[in-house]
Amino acid sequence: MNRDRSGIYQEIVRQLVMAASTATLYAIDHPQVSRLCEAADKSIKEAMGGETEIALIAIGDEIIIDEVPLKGSYYSERLARQLKARGIGHLKILHKVTPAEIRQLIVTISRNKPGGDDARSTENIRFGKVEVRHSDEKGQEIAGYEDLTEDELGTLINTFDKIAERESFDVSGITNIVTGFVGAIRNQFNPLLALVPLREMDEYTFTHSLDVCVLNLVQGMTLGIDGPLLADIGLAGMLHDAGKIFIDREVLNKPGKLDETEMEHMRSHPRRGAEYLLGCPGIPRIAILSSFEHHIKFNLTGYPSVSSDWQLALPSQMTMISDIFDAMRTRRIYQTSLDFDYIERVLLEKAGTELNPYLTRNFLKVMKRLSVEL
């Protein structure tokens, strides 16, 4: 989402909430409701511009539009709660949406009782439930690193070889592998078993990338995300560290603390990774964003440096959590068991400042349950 659209998106949310609240007090054909519906329709068309759709996701008390969370406000929190009460997690508005469909959307939002025939998609407004649904993704189920076929392993190795050589690569092969992980997780396979233990330092970026992919998929599925967007979120995890190909190996593998010059060199990898992925055909936009943003903290500190009105993409925030968790897990791999309690304390300390608090708590809740099931 272009940051200069943030204001118009906030206005759409405000108009939807006000229209729904007014419709609750009066009737849908009340002049004030009609005026707010017309204003919302106009704002939506204006925000759409040349795009074909607006995609909205409600997570906790947050509203995410086009993958970017809106800044918290009474209206965004109210809309998130209203959609949740209706069992709606995803809302897609297509560019041919009609005023009548906007009015029906207001009716749906304004209802206090969950369920009902009014919570149905129309031709140009599509609702998605907050649940994990089966989709038509293709790909053999992959329960973990050891379950990869020779061809799949070859595809991964070839892709990372091309990345190491700074060459373009075909994204379709690794996308199929990502959907293979999705299939296994859906069929009740515990995804923690798919995480790759740290072997040799030279393999770290490769195995860590697979782990972050799987952890991103787990996060996405628990948030009700499905289909191509879920696969893209997994792919974002797999490619988030692509920029490290531009970092000197001596700096990457240095056991001690980096000096300021080395640290500055290291801080360049998110930007350089995003620039590299931009030159590879077929890479999803959110994977490029995650490469750029995965070291930008929830409070907008970190690196690269961004302006105070920057809005982090949801997949980038998910990738940062997955990245930190797996980095801590692998650093402790030589102990007899993972100290999950310690990792949990560290992540909770970062929640609200470095990490998105809702996503962090959700992630830890899921990880704790999966750990118990092992």
CA distance 294 to 317: 7
Report the pLDDT value the prediction gives residue 67, as an integer from 0 to 100: 67
Q: Which CATH class is domain 145-373?
A: mainly alpha
Q: Give pLDDT, residue 226.
A: 80
For residue 290, give the nearest of 329, 238, 360 by alpha carbon: 238
- Token pair in block for residue 29: 């054909």
Looking at mean pLDDT, say which of 39-53, 124-138, 141-155 comes out highest: 39-53
For residue 17, pLDDT beyond 50: yes
Confidence of residue 46 (pLDDT cuts 50, 70, 90): confident
User: What are the tens digits of pLDDT across the range 155-170?
Assistant: 888 888 888 888 888 8
Calpha distance 140→123 (Å, rounded): 33
Identify which of 270, 307, 309 has the alpha carbon closest to the alpha carbon of residue 288. 270
Cα of 87 vs its chain's centroid, Å: 20
Q: What letter represents residue 147's amino acid?
A: D
pLDDT value at residue 334: 37
Question: Are the CB atoms for 58 and 83 separated by under 8 Å?
Answer: yes
Nearest Cα residue to 244 out of 150, 327, 332: 327
Choose among 107, 7, 123, 72: nearest CA to 358: 72
Helices and strands counted in the chain (H then E)? 15, 5
pLDDT band at 140 (very low <50, low <70, confident <90, very high): low
Residue appearing with tokens 């970190």: 302
Mean pLDDT score, 251-267: 88
CA-CA distance, 81 to 296, in Å (whole number)? 28
Domain boundaries, the chain: 3-129, 145-373
Three-class DSSP category at 67? coil
Residue-level pLDDT at 117: 45
pTM: 0.68
pLDDT at 216 over 70: yes
The pLDDT of 164-182, averaged and rounded, is: 86
pLDDT tens, 276-311?
Answer: 999 898 899 899 999 999 999 999 999 999 998 898
Q: Which of 18-27, 50-59, 91-100 has the highest mean pLDDT?
A: 91-100
If one counts every other C-beta atom within 10 angstroms of the C-beta of residue 148, the result is 18
